Structure formats: structure tokens, C-alpha cells
Amino acid sequence: QQQVKQSPQSLIVQKGGISIINCAYENTAFDYFPWYQQFPGKGPALLIAIRPDVSEKKEGRFTISFNKSAKQFSLHIMDSQPGDSATYFCAAINNAGNMLTFGGGTRLMVKP
């Protein structure tokens, strides 16, 4: 029940296209959902996060869509750029603690 399932495992998008990564969870006690971006050899960097009281959050080209009833959330990267090529992880924290549970990761490649 602590799992966060992420798809797809890998994604190839043309420059200027929209990248969409999906995550699903079971634990209804999760109440904070961040997305992390990781470049090879680096630590995960917080990209954007959402709480379940809103259905969407946008920061620049990055948008999280959140569907509480379906227990799903997704990351949309608009106007994808080659510099966005990285591994993206969704994650969740439950309201009883501060342990991040990560999804399996999506390796995004944006072709020029």
C-alpha cells in the first residue's frame, strides 16, 4: 500500500512536444506529492509539488494534474526541450510522517 507506480519507464519526445508522465498510489494517507528531476550522477532535485486539495498546479512549463478520486497524478512538460532530458521521479509523503516514497522513475529523452 506504500507503493507509488509510475509510467512509462521511458519516453521519447520531439523538441517542442508535450511530455506526460503518470503516477498512481493506493495509500489515501498520502498528502504531499512532489516530482523530482535527476540528471546522471546527480541527486534528485525538487521540480514541483502538489497537495490533494487542488487539482492542478503550474510552474512555468511544468504542470501537475491531480485526480484525488482516481488516486492518480501526472506531470506535464510543455514545449519540451533537450535540456529536459533526465529521469523524473514522482513521490509521495503520508500525513503521519516524512518518508518519501518514490515511483520507479521515467527516463525522458527529448530529441532536437
Partner 1 sequence: EPEVTQTPSHQVTQMGQEVILRCVPISNHLYFYWYRQILGQKVEFLVSFYNNEISEKSEIFDDQFSVERPDGSNFTLKIRSTKLEDSAMYFCASSPPGNNEQFFGPGTRLTVL
- Residues in contact with partner 1 by CB under 8 A are 32, 34, 36, 41-46, 49, 89, 91, 93, 97-105
* DSSP-assigned letter for residue 82: G
Closer residue to partner 1 (CB): 17 or 109: 109
CB of 16 to partner 1, least distance (A): 29
CB of 74 to partner 1, least distance (A): 18
For residue 77, CA distances in Å to 29, 47, 64, 91 come to: 27, 11, 9, 17
